[in-house]
Structure 1
Amino acid sequence: MSNPKHDKGEHYLLTPKAEPFLERVIFNNRFVILVMFLFLTAFLGYNAVKIKPDASFERLIPLEHPFIINMLENRSDLENLGNSIKIAVAVEEGDIFTEEYMSTLQKITDEVFYLPGVNRAGLKSIWTPNVRWVEVTEEGFQGGPVIPDGYNGSRDSLESLRQNILKSGQVGSLVADNFKSTIIYAPLFEINPETNEPLDYKAFSLELEEKIRAKYAESNPNINIHIIGFAKKVGDLIEGIGSIAMFALVTITLTTLFLFWYSRCFAGTIVPVITSLVAVFWQLGILRLLGYGMDPYSVLVPFLVFAIGISHGVQIVNQMAVEAAKGFDPMTSARLAFRQLYIPGMLALVSDAIGFLTLLFIQIDVIRDLAVAAGVGVAVIIVTNLVLHPLIMSYVGISKGGIKHVQNHGEKQDRKWRLMSFFSHPSVAPISILIAILGFGIGIYYQKDLKIGDLDKGAPELREDSRYNVDNEYIISNYSTSADVLVIMVETEKEKCTDYRVMDAMDRLQWTLENSPGVESTASLVTVSKLVTKALNEGNFKWFELSRNQTIINSSIQRAPAGLINTNCDMTPVLAFLKDHKAETLDSVVATVEKFVDENPSEEFKFLLGAGNAGVEAATNQVISKAKDMMLFFVYAVVSTLCFITFRSIRAVICIVTPLALTSVLCEALMAQLGIGIKVATLPVIALGVGIGVDYGIYIYTKLEKLLLEGKPLQEAYFETLRTTGKAVAFTGVTLGVGVFTWIFSPIKFQADMGVLLFFMFLWNMVGALWLLPALARFLLRPDKMIAKAKKAEASGS
């Protein structure tokens, strides 16, 4: 027996007056719009395939942070502390003092010298003339290049080389402590002076592999090559991006199979996939036209765009199948589906886009690029999935098999949906609320262990057993100087950097740092002065002190290495070598320096933090720490505001947003327990997870509200919601979760981390929308008041 109210509502939907203006414009001009889509897709697709990988040292750091401003202002005076690579040439058996090894090292040094992008003036190896030895004799200072004059590979010349290395002070820095390897240090230009183009990290990394590692290590079983540095790390990341194509294929394949299993309709399977892929091509094409490339972090955004597109596409297919099952033709089914979904769909997508754009508040260019990429992608989905998708479906329609599946499947699944509808029952809803409160409590408790920054040694973006991290571990284990360096810049007036009062303050800062946890050693101009003063006094350690006599200080630093004093003598760095770059280590050391500076004010000099890779990490951590809470506030504020504008109800906002908040808290607790810190790679996931998750709640609430306004009791209305919209939400959550779960096998660790977190957020946002939202609705929604309010609004409108 038919429901009169339902028949009346159905008739109302089919009257011309009910057609929204947007619907008439779109469906009355189907052919013209589809032709426009075809040309736009060809044009943007052409640009999409030409987009290039893009990575830059400066785009990964917070350029507006005081530490980074100080570092960039003194960049020209900070030798060895910028973008660079280290190549350790090691022997399996024996040591470096053989003719064969030294010949190989000379050839590799020459190869590196001619690599494009290398700052040749700063290149260092025991074969370069800027690496020298110095000693004090009865006649004064003597010195020269480490490679002895007349070197010919003989036993005597190799012994002279050994002595020169011991006198050079390079053991532990350029020469391994066990004499089984040496390092070639190569500073790099961000802009290649030969081409005036940004350094191509992918090409540079490939040249290192082909011209250095493959040519010398693979052809000589006794030689191993270990390469580290920002350029090599980014090169390996870009190389790992190649594997992302495989994961994209896996994701698309799984999604297609699940869609067919869900719809039993070829058109209902292929069209959502095609329109979602069109959205990806549009996004990439627009980004290229705007001058963007794909860096290792934003390369994952197309996955999310595809996922969001599928999420909304499933709703359209589901609604069309429901309408087709009532006997409507493809055109009418498409129009009815569009009419019911375009408002919640646009609300969800606009919420996604604005939520993603809140990442623009974070002062790190790579995150801002990701925000733009995600914002553009979601904006494109509004057009492709809410316009292109229903237009194509209006021609092809849902197949008979798909319609039959909806009818049979609906009857078979009614028992399951009836059971789930009890989430809104007066006896069950309080239990759900209590479980949610308990979940909030557990999440907040475990969330306290969440850390900011990197929690692993080496390059946390890559797997622990990756080639880069194996190389990094070798260099850390065989050299005295740490790979994690914090630089404090000491600024003075011109020609005043060697003044005793300045040097004394530096000495006291070094002593303070060396007695602080997390610091292995320090070095500065003071260290050089002490060493030379001791050498001038027969090596007696009693003289290993900073002299109060200015003449002695000036004499002791005459041969100070480049990088410890600049030409104008108005800046000199203090180097602190740290045990690691974990967040707590950086926080502790930075706090120690800041406390020292506060307790030792002076008008004659100024201590400035902080250069070196540890300084950059510390600045990045501080920016992320401040941005995290602000970003979440803006994301939730945007989502809540848009929901309120649409539904005109605070109660509706609470129903939609509370499940998202529970997911956010539990996600951060999961990160803490899995040892995943909040950093450049993972911070955007929090915003992206909220943005995508709100879609579920909006679709569920929109359908539930419509049925309540028709006069249905809450539990019955929720049952009907589950049979249609809820089914699509459950399918979408599981499908997208399985799609991103494959990422955990990626060689890029941050992609694997993102896969775990997005898998959790996709599923939990879906669970929250299906389980917690109806329980909240039981306590918050008043259907009688909602109906009265709607009638009043309708009366005032007419």
Structure 2
Amino acid sequence: MSENENIQLSAEDGKLRPALGRVLMRLRTPLIALFVILTVIFAWQMTQLRPDASFEKMIPVSHPYIVNFLKDRDDLSGLANSVRIIVETTKGDIFTPEYQETLHQVTDAAFYIDGVDRSGLQSLWTPNVRWLEVTEEGFVGGSVIPDDYDGSPRTLAKLRSNTLKSGQVGRLVANNFQSSIIVAPLTETDPVTGERLDYQKLSADLELQLRDKFQSDDIKIHITGFAKLVGDLVDGANLVATFFGVAFVITAVMLFFYSRCPWLTLGPLLCSTIAVVWQLGLLRLLGMGLDPYSILVPFLIFAVGISHSVQIINRFGQYCHDGIDNSESAFLAFVRLSKPGGIALLSDGVGFLTLRVIDIPVIKELAVVASIGIAVLVLTNLILLPLVLSYTGISKTCRRYLDRKANSKYSHWWYLSAVTKRAPAMTIIAVCAVLFVGGSWFGQQQKIGDLDPGAPELRPDSRYNLDNAFLTSNYSTSTDAFVVMVHTDPQQCGNFAALSAIDYFQGTMENVAGVQSALSLVDVSKLVIMGMNEGSPKWHAISRNQLILNNSLGRVPNNLLNTDCSMVPVILFLEDHKADTLDRVVAAAERFAKENDSDQIQFKLAAGNSGVDAATNIVIRSAQYRMLFWVYGVVTLLCLLTFRSVKITACIIVPLMLTSILGQALMAVLGIGVKVATLPVIALGVGIGVDYGIYIYSSLEHYLRQGHSLRQAYFSALKASGTAVAFTGLTLAVGVGTWIYSPIKFQADMGLMLTFMFFWNMLGALLLLPALAWLLNARETELKKVSS
């Protein structure tokens, strides 16, 4: 070991890290070659990675509501995962030969799209959409499209009459007769290959084979449904590469401005990019893909890599400027920063893993994706970067820049170090206490679930939301359907007791605020009984005569009961799927089920898109604070193990807690609900934000051990790490700030929240942490407990 190394190393560096550092420097050439080989392998694997989205991944499959839904899924044709294709005419109404020919062609085209459950397809041109009429001779009915349809005025008039008799106005046919719907239920797996449905391909097929082919000046095609939403999300997520490129350029410019050295700019960019390549390659090797919710995680890994790299190049540059050669400077940077960097990355990774307590597959996968990336950073940024720097060194321009910095009095840091004095510290703590109270109050207004109509994952002016708005404004039945499955013994769903219970349930639920209407086989039974009695309204009721009931149920559509008459879906059409609406509906339905369930009949929640949303909201509501408990518990435990001081741990954790509280308040003020897309942001912000505090206090500890006063030690810590922390916070905030312009709203929301949390975590580490150190007197006596 050289004389310089003996000067720089101290007892606090221990023995393990210097020994490991010597081995790394000795083997740096073969190690770099190994990194290059592995990067090529993972880059090849990365090119094979494909987007991965699934309906079941987005929902809490183990929640009782979803268990009930999946159990009855095959009997809920058209009520589960489906798309609605709206064919609109801009000239006249739908009863023209030209429109009907187009509708017929679109129906046929939809029939042959891969992923469509063809047996459940519904349109005016499918035989399962029928009309019914009571005449002097009894019931008369048939397919809506006349058997002898030829486009003539006579058959068009007959088609109009059949449509009015079918009861589909407001459902499959618009109230203004200017459009009609094709309902295409989907299969989750391909019945031939057994492979999972490719939502991106399905969305592309809908565009190519329907919208692009049939849309014209006279015909407009609107498409809604979960599959189309996911397809649009994947398409929008492809723009992430553009945002990544913009953030990469911004980071490169800011790194060069910070270091004034091309080598100290290139090293962090190279190693952080390698980390992303490794992460994506490992995902491919593990048989995983990237869904729209985790596709931003690679950029977060890049950002975290830059965060740690800045600390390393900052320390490396200082050692080089002090006259230590490149290899020894890299060795010392590794020894001094591997401990705080390793603890910070461990906190990040374990913090991300706590997301797995949320029982939604897509969030569990996000936790794995993020944790893999953090694990890779230990190799690429804590080990590879010092090895690379040992060859590159620093430029002459950088040395001159460091000369100017060395001669600087760092007056800005000296002024900032005053936060360790009584008056400034008390002022900061008082301001933060006010922010804590205010944030807690506003945070109570935070809502669970969606707060906007349509698909809140996309912007209000997106094509999908415009299509959804068209559907809502032109049809009587809402797109927000909450389905309750009523179970009886086989062949007993049509007896008087069951039908009267269902009728009572419908009447109860239709009086709940937010419920537009309800539909079940009871409505069909009443209409048929009324029709069999000359249409008299007084017969619009459930008959106690079982023979009459049996006759009335003979004309019930297949989607309103299952094959053995043991399950009846009751469809509640809601005004919206906002959290408050769903809470009221769930509470009323559960209360009814609790009071009326028996051995003969059970009311089971819930299917439909709103039923799934309700179950998701319940899971998120119960998991939100459990997740926070785990992430803060893990981070706190790691800090206690590292610093062995409750006071020091409090100095690091309290600023993070304040940022979390302010983040929740910001979500409440901006109307951002807690849902699948936004819930992980809280854990991500805590996991990444703890890095600032660990680096600051590790540096502060070093100078306190040398006998400095708290202010002098903090001033020295700011000179050593403060600039890097401030630069990192600003760089990360600016980088993720570019997401605000994403066409995908939840990505924009994530960008806004992460920008806020990065910035406030930085301020907390620089201002509140030292103020708390003064208040708690976490000084030399506490730091002496820390072992090397």
TM more than 0.5? yes
Q: Is the 8 A contact 1:123 1:185 kept in 2?
A: yes
> Is the alpha carbon distance of 1:784 and 1:360 closer, same or farther for their aligned partners in structure 2, counting shifts above 3 Å?
closer
1:660-698 superposed Cα distances (whole Å, 9 cap, x missing partner)? 000000000000000100000000000000000000000
> Would you say 1:634 and 2:635 are equivalent positions?
no
1:437-472 superposed Cα distances (whole Å, 9 cap, x missing partner)? 111001001111100001111111111000000000
Counterpart CA distance in 2 for 1:58 and 1:438 is 43
1:204-261 superposed Cα distances (whole Å, 9 cap, x missing partner)? 11111111111111xx311110000111111111111121111010000000000000
What is the Cα deviation at residue 17 of structure 1?
6.5
Aligned match of 2:207: 209
Between 154-163 and 400-409, the greater mean CA deviation after superposition:
400-409
Aligned match of 1:3: none
SS at match of 1:572: strand
Counterpart CA distance in 2 for 1:400 and 1:503 is 87
Counterpart CA distance in 2 for 1:325 and 1:150 is 92
**Equivalent of residue 754 in structure 1, options 750, 756, 762:** 750
> Is the alpha carbon distance of 1:398 and 1:7 closer, same or farther for their aligned partners in structure 2, counting shifts above 3 Å?
closer
What is the Cα deviation at residue 781 of structure 1?
3.2
> Would you say 1:487 and 2:489 are equivalent positions?
no
Aligned match of 1:92: 90
Counterpart CA distance in 2 for 1:436 and 1:384 is 37
1:527-580 superposed Cα distances (whole Å, 9 cap, x missing partner)? 111111111222222221112222221111111011111111111111110000
What is the Cα deviation at residue 9 of structure 1?
5.4
What is the Cα deviation at residue 203 of structure 1?
1.5
1:75-106 superposed Cα distances (whole Å, 9 cap, x missing partner)? 11111111111000001121001111001111
> Is the alpha carbon distance of 1:253 and 1:454 closer, same or farther for their aligned partners in structure 2, counting shifts above 3 Å?
same
> Is the alpha carbon distance of 1:413 and 1:244 closer, same or farther for their aligned partners in structure 2, counting shifts above 3 Å?
farther
SS at match of 2:446: coil
> Is the alpha carbon distance of 1:601 and 1:202 closer, same or farther for their aligned partners in structure 2, counting shifts above 3 Å?
closer
What is the Cα deviation at residue 412 of structure 1?
3.8
**Aligned runs of 1:192-231 on 2, under 5 Å?**
192-217=190-215, 220-231=216-227
Structure 1 residue identity aligned to 2:183: Y
**Equivalent of residue 153 in structure 1, options 151, 164, 171:** 151
**Aligned runs of 1:362-377 on 2, under 5 Å?**
362-377=358-373
What is the Cα deviation at residue 25 of structure 1?
2.1
1:369-407 superposed Cα distances (whole Å, 9 cap, x missing partner)? 100000000000011000000000011112222122123
Counterpart CA distance in 2 for 1:410 and 1:613 is 63
> Would you say 1:765 and 2:761 are equivalent positions?
yes
Counterpart CA distance in 2 for 1:74 and 1:211 is 31
**Equivalent of residue 388 in structure 1, options 384, 401, 404:** 384
Counterpart CA distance in 2 for 1:668 and 1:629 is 12
Aligned match of 2:161: 163
1:86-139 superposed Cα distances (whole Å, 9 cap, x missing partner)? 000001121001111001111111111111111111111101111111111122
What is the Cα deviation at residue 14 of structure 1?
13
**Equivalent of residue 579 in structure 1, options 567, 575, 580:** 575
Structure 1 residue identity aligned to 2:737: F
SS at match of 2:410: helix
Aligned match of 1:303: 299
What is the Cα deviation at residue 328 of structure 1?
0.8
Aligned match of 1:47: 45
**Equivalent of residue 706 in structure 1, options 675, 679, 702:** 702
Aligned match of 2:270: 274
SS at match of 1:56: coil
> Would you say 1:27 and 2:25 are equivalent positions?
yes
**Equivalent of residue 70 in structure 1, options 68, 71, 91:** 68
What is the Cα deviation at residue 21 of structure 1?
2.4
Structure 1 residue identity aligned to 2:68: N
SS at match of 1:206: helix
1:307-340 superposed Cα distances (whole Å, 9 cap, x missing partner)? 0000000000000111112111111111111111
What is the Cα deviation at residue 410 of structure 1?
4.6
SS at match of 2:571: strand
Aligned match of 1:670: 666
Unaligned runs of 5+ in 2: none
Counterpart CA distance in 2 for 1:311 and 1:601 is 57
**Equivalent of residue 774 in structure 2, options 752, 756, 778:** 778
Structure 2 residue identity aligned to 1:476: T
Counterpart CA distance in 1 for 2:528 and 2:263 is 81
Counterpart CA distance in 1 for 2:64 and 2:414 is 59
> Is the alpha carbon distance of 1:11 and 1:289 closer, same or farther for their aligned partners in structure 2, counting shifts above 3 Å?
closer
What is the Cα deviation at residue 599 of structure 1?
2.0
Q: Is the 8 A contact 2:8 2:332 kept in 1?
A: no
Aligned match of 1:447: 443
Counterpart CA distance in 2 for 1:19 and 1:475 is 64
Counterpart CA distance in 1 for 2:317 and 2:472 is 61
> Is the alpha carbon distance of 1:360 and 1:413 closer, same or farther for their aligned partners in structure 2, counting shifts above 3 Å?
farther
What is the Cα deviation at residue 413 of structure 1?
6.2
What is the Cα deviation at residue 197 of structure 1?
1.9
Between 202-211 and 678-687, the greater mean CA deviation after superposition:
202-211
Between 419-428 and 545-554, the greater mean CA deviation after superposition:
545-554
Counterpart CA distance in 1 for 2:15 and 2:677 is 50
Aligned match of 2:713: 717
Structure 1 residue identity aligned to 2:619: V
Counterpart CA distance in 1 for 2:223 and 2:16 is 67
What is the Cα deviation at residue 192 of structure 1?
1.6
**Equivalent of residue 239 in structure 1, options 225, 235, 238:** 235
Q: Is the 8 A contact 1:450 1:669 kept in 2?
A: yes
> Is the alpha carbon distance of 1:272 and 1:106 closer, same or farther for their aligned partners in structure 2, counting shifts above 3 Å?
same
Percent identity of equivalent pairs: 53
SS at match of 2:577: coil
Q: Is the 8 A contact 1:487 1:574 kept in 2?
A: yes
SS at match of 2:244: helix
Q: Is the 8 A contact 2:647 2:778 kept in 1?
A: no
Q: Is the 8 A contact 1:344 1:698 kept in 2?
A: yes
Counterpart CA distance in 1 for 2:379 and 2:180 is 58
Q: Is the 8 A contact 2:714 2:770 kept in 1?
A: yes
**Equivalent of residue 315 in structure 1, options 311, 315, 318:** 311
What is the Cα deviation at residue 8 of structure 1?
8.3
What is the Cα deviation at residue 409 of structure 1?
2.9
Counterpart CA distance in 2 for 1:266 and 1:484 is 55
SS at match of 1:636: helix
**Equivalent of residue 691 in structure 1, options 683, 687, 693:** 687
Counterpart CA distance in 2 for 1:717 and 1:427 is 18
1:722-746 superposed Cα distances (whole Å, 9 cap, x missing partner)? 1120110000000110011111110
Counterpart CA distance in 2 for 1:618 and 1:784 is 53
What is the Cα deviation at residue 20 of structure 1?
2.4
Structure 2 residue identity aligned to 1:175: V
CA RMSD of superposed structures (Å): 1.6
Q: Is the 8 A contact 1:429 1:776 kept in 2?
A: yes
SS at match of 1:231: helix
Counterpart CA distance in 2 for 1:766 and 1:25 is 34
What is the Cα deviation at residue 7 of structure 1?
11
What is the Cα deviation at residue 12 of structure 1?
4.3
**Aligned runs of 1:422-501 on 2, under 5 Å?**
422-501=418-497
SS at match of 1:298: coil
Q: Is the 8 A contact 1:23 1:339 kept in 2?
A: yes
Counterpart CA distance in 1 for 2:57 and 2:17 is 48
Q: Is the 8 A contact 1:85 1:229 kept in 2?
A: yes
Counterpart CA distance in 1 for 2:14 and 2:368 is 39
Q: Is the 8 A contact 1:12 1:18 kept in 2?
A: no
Q: Is the 8 A contact 1:13 1:336 kept in 2?
A: no
> Is the alpha carbon distance of 1:14 and 1:546 closer, same or farther for their aligned partners in structure 2, counting shifts above 3 Å?
closer
1:592-641 superposed Cα distances (whole Å, 9 cap, x missing partner)? 01111122232211110001111100000000000000000000000000
